Amino acid sequence: MKKLIDFLKENKISFEENVDGKRLCSFRVGGRAALVIKPADTAEIKALFGFLKNCEIRYILLGKGSNVVISDMGFDGAVILLSEIKSWSVDYDKLSIGAGASLSNAASVAQSFGLSGLEFAHGIPGSVGGGIYMNAGAYGGEICQVLSSCECYDTDTDEVVHLNNFDMGFAYRHSILQERKNLIVLRATFGLTVSDLREVRDRMDVLRAQRLEKQPLEYPSAGSTFKRPEGYFAAKLIDDAGLKGYTVGGAQVSDKHAGFVINRGGATASDIKQLVDYIQKTVKEKFNVSLECEIEFVE
């Protein structure tokens, strides 16, 4: 780790040591990360991974940390944050934006230019890169419907590659990136529709009002906790199982929307994991339906 820190200093790549995990994920839980690295551009990413190839330091990639929970024991490796890669540009009906930008910011930029298509993304608590990785969606919209292409760094070949929508292998809450861990999204280009900026804003406002009414946005969470099982709705299954409001430590099945596990205050990563496991076990026993968690637990 000392050699890595010396490398970062020598190459002027931003980093922090001993970082509270609560700063890194939207659940606001988790132990300390030994090292958090914040590359500013593609050159720094290439240099960083060139170094990491020759050492045995564990690392994870994070954008906004909206689908990740770091163990209460912390993470003894390096967390690579892409949050600094967030610049954007607009060319008629195309929005190009860095992977570290928030999906909400991408939607707001599109709206400011009168571009429609990303309204659904305005309230999703994640980054552009994370949204592509998960094919994030809400209210009938999904990333796969608007992504034209993305620029990725291939850690195996040390090359920047460009993938189109077809290349991404999109499916429900899935992209090829979940299998090809060597690909890191750097930038996305969204193909949108020219519209009236006030009409786009109105649609965003309507969706925001629905979220405020139906979702527990006042508490830290990862958004929807489970993927939608085929033929069912996760929230209804959890509600029908009598689990709305069920609590483990500071973690709770929201009594406002059973599809959300929330941090009511003082929750630990262990509380969240135990609650998720209990929900899955109970729903399986009662309805013989397996709920797949969207959250990745990092030990």
Residues 111-149: tens digit of each pLDDT: 999 999 999 999 888 999 999 999 999 999 999 999 999
Residues 258-277: tens digit of each pLDDT: 999 999 999 999 999 999 99
In the chain, the percentage of residues whose pLDDT exceeds 70 is 100
For residue 56, pLDDT beyond 90: no
Does the domain spanning 2-81 belong to CATH 3.30.43.10?
A: yes
Name the pTM for this structure: 0.89
Residues 82-102: tens digit of each pLDDT: 999 999 999 999 999 999 999
In the chain, the percentage of residues whose pLDDT exceeds 90 is 94
The mean of the pLDDT values for the chain is: 95
For residue 182, pLDDT beyond 90: yes
Q: 88-213 in CATH: which number?
A: 3.30.465.10
Active site (catalytic) residues? 173, 224, 294
Residues 285-299: tens digit of each pLDDT: 999 999 999 999 998
Residues 234-245: tens digit of each pLDDT: 999 999 999 999
Query: What's the CATH fold of domain 218-288?
Result: 3.90.78
Q: Where are the domains of the chain?
A: 2-81, 88-213, 218-288
Q: Which amino acid is at 40?
A: A
Reported confidence tier of residue 217, pLDDT bands at 50, 70, 90: very high
